[in-house]
A and B are shown apart, each in its own frame.
Chain A
């Protein structure tokens, strides 16, 4: 049996994964992402935007591995952070955390509801969101728990959750500097590979150029650096807290990334017609779902995908007795 596997991808050309990552890819929880549209109903406005969370998650894993390899390369480590991150000097620890990082990247979107963000706020009980559900699935899904245990050395599911969800959403959970940097690689505001992949992928599939930027150059110039603040022209020594930064040579591509983000939000993610579809979808789901919300038990939650919702919409349109059926209102 092959130890490494390749998957073709329109953005990253080849995505390579090992046999343990392949087991996660084959799991029920991950395969479900094949049936969750990345951009919800945006495909009704941008017909090409039919891509799913499945390929995005693979892309995030691929990029997370690339960033890890760049920022832990011995010649790329800044002298200021060498002494404060012991994990950088221990090969076994580096190897363990690289695996955890890639698994976390692969799993980071497992808790998405049907149609991704379209109806998340109103259709989960208070205190739940897709990040909470991601944590629940990584921790409690039997198939995944078995995979974490049989890897050598076994991966701690709490480590995977930390990196997949990040400190902003896991309030009250303590992160080491190292764990915080690794989670920043995935979900960071500036250079998170989740964002890098979705901007490039959404742009590619929607057929708009706004989301493109030179991510190869960006990733090559990423570094772990002490945090600087905007308090003065030279902030060396502001803080020793290590965070993800860049070398000066990558500044223009970082600017391009943040401009791409602005354009994509303005032009694609907040497209007014897409927002109207979201409202209609939410109305339907509230009527169709038992008690008007999605279940939070992992087993029941994983039964729901876009496919079930689309089938129910079709059924409702044909059946006047369906709870979601609504005939077109007459003029007042």
Chain B
């Protein structure tokens, strides 16, 4: 399989002598669904920022679809779902406007969306089950529904790589599992390479093919069932079961 993300011997430090990551080697093939987990401060968000080319490593190299990540030429094909605290959910914005923002990089910066772009936006909204709420204000939706709107925004970009950074922070366990099932279904339908980053991986254990645990480096990389039993999160019943 072609490789989507490749980190080789990667190290990173915000300050000299205080490495956040050391000796990271990670290869993610196209079409994989990978969960990246670890404690807060363990370096998982840094790892993702490196993978997306938003930060440059202090050692090693990072390739995105074969190109140096910081000079990646097809950025419009990257879908990104940020932590909820970083996005504008309080303002007077409706679901369709949020999802339309995902078409910006494809449709061009100027003028209104074209008909084809609008159709893709409608399809993405329907895919996450929000068709009935497309013209509802985001602030009037639950946390789980708001997150689905942002997932639809990422899918509106028709991404070749989808990255979700702590997508379930502040969402209850039931909504986390519903979100995981939705992501599993969308991954099966569209085959998009997906990186799910979270300090809580219980909700996606039954969905992902591969789990990567990060604590200053990669301390586990394999199928979730190979994880020592003491590391599993008992609060989730595994969405696919």
Does B associate with A?
no
Which residues on B are within 8 Å of A, measured CB to CB? none
